[in-house]
Amino acid sequence: MNKKLVFIISGILVVAAVCLIIYIYLSSLHPYENKPLEKGQTKTEPAGIQPLPLTATSLTPDEHKTQAIESGVSADQLISKIKSWKKEFPDLFRQNPDLEETLKKSNGQVTSQIIKSLLSYANPEGRRDAQSPPRVSGTPVEPNKKEQIAKAIGLLSDSNPEKRISALQTLTDLQAKEAIPEIIRLSYDPDASVRAGTLYALGKLGAKEAIQETIRCLYDPDAKVRIQVIATLKALKGKEATPEIMRLLPDPDAEVRSSAIRILRELDAKEAIPDITKLLYDSDIMVRQEAIYTLGELQAKESIPDIRNLLSDSNEKIRKAAEEALHKLESK
């Protein structure tokens, strides 16, 4: 009798164990189904899980395009897409100055941080559509453009540098050319970020009357201001800005030197080839790579001996860049 009882109890325990295993397995397939809801949460929003900002069924054509880049694109396609994104999302690129360069260096694989920024901008709840009016410090703007411009010009004198920068952004968005004289005044602002924002605004507004003030800023003590000077001179003078930009090739800051090389390449400034060739031996790897690539793009055949010397450089990236540049120079 005792043996039968033990057998029955053992059987019950085995069945219970099997049921428990099945329950655990099924729960793993739907981990949130049976968890208690947090306060204020609905059944469709599992505890601890935030709903996605966009759904496949609600994406607009722009959002489909934004989401599509998550899988990566070729380098050539990426350059083309960056140009279109800058036109469609000007605020995003202005508020994230390093975004374009980061995209270019991503080798077609856009980082999750950039994807998050783009999706956030494309989110209907959080974005500012191209058709909607610009905003100053998150406050709804007045419907009258003249009133918006007047208010923004007033904020250029605000003691808070963030408000001065916000005003510059607003005037740029509104293409308020009548504000150019007041904007030029901020090129002397004590805050470096304001000075950089001023130069950005002048470039976007096509303020040719500010060319001399922009050239003066070539000697600004802050590197980010000098970097912005390069872009603004390109915008205001085009290829004629080559002599001024060349002044920054020996700049003490590596990012400034690198930016100057890149813009000279974009301007097809062949007259800068001798000075760029000197930077093949720069102390900064980034500057050297930029110089090698630029000389290849400019078809600087006179620089072939110097580039060939780099095939035995101790840095692998430099050797590879030199090989690619020589291939371009010697195959044409």
- The pLDDT tens digits of the residues spanning 182-202 come to 999 999 999 999 999 999 999
Total residue count of the chain as it appears in this document:
332
Q: How confident is the model at residue 58 (pLDDT cuts 50, 70, 90)?
A: very low
Which of 15-24, 103-112, 210-219 has the highest mean predicted lDDT (pLDDT)? 210-219
Separation of alpha carbons 175 and 173, rounded Å: 5
CATH topology of domain 138-247: Leucine-rich Repeat Variant (1.25.10)
Q: What is the CA radius of gyration of the chain?
A: 29
Instruction: Render pLDDT for 9-28 as a digit per residue (tens, 0 to 9).
Output: 666 766 666 666 666 655 55
Could you give the count of Cα atoms lying within 13 Å of 218 in the half-sphere of its Cβ? 20
CB atoms inside a 10 Å sphere around CB 109 = 11
Separation of alpha carbons 1 and 15, rounded Å: 21
Judged against a pLDDT cut of 90, whether residue 49 lies above it is answered with no
Q: 86 versus 321: which is more confidently predicted?
A: 321
Q: What angle do CA 94, 114, 90 make, to 5 degrees?
A: 25
Q: Domain coordinates of the chain in residue numbers? A: 61-122, 138-247, 249-332
- State what percent of residues in the chain have pLDDT above 70: 58
Q: Which CATH number fits domain 249-332: 3.50.50.60, 3.30.450.80, 1.10.730.10, 1.25.10.10?
A: 1.25.10.10
What's the pLDDT at 46?
37
Judged against a pLDDT cut of 90, whether residue 121 lies above it is answered with no
Q: 251 versus 74: which is more confidently predicted?
A: 251
Q: Which of 271, 323, 316 is nearest to 296 (CA)?
A: 323
Mean pLDDT of the chain: 76
Q: What are phi and psi of 111, to 5 degrees?
A: -70, 155
Q: 35 versus 89: which is more confidently predicted?
A: 89
Judged against a pLDDT cut of 80, whether residue 316 lies above it is answered with yes
Q: What angle do CA 170, 174, 178 make, to 5 degrees?
A: 100
Could you give the C-alpha distances from 27 to 6, 20, 48, 86, 313, in angstroms and in order? Answer: 31, 10, 17, 46, 58
Q: How confident is the model at residue 4 (pLDDT cuts 50, 70, 90)?
A: low
Judged against a pLDDT cut of 60, whether residue 71 lies above it is answered with no
Q: What are the tokens at 103?
A: 């995209």
Separation of alpha carbons 328 and 94, rounded Å: 34
What's the pLDDT at 235?
96
Q: 19 versus 306: which is more confidently predicted?
A: 306
Q: 162 versus 92: which is more confidently predicted?
A: 162
Instruction: Render pLDDT for 251-302 as a digit per residue (tens, 0 to 9).
Output: 999 999 999 999 999 999 999 999 999 999 999 999 999 999 999 999 999 9
Q: 51 versus 65: which is more confidently predicted?
A: 65
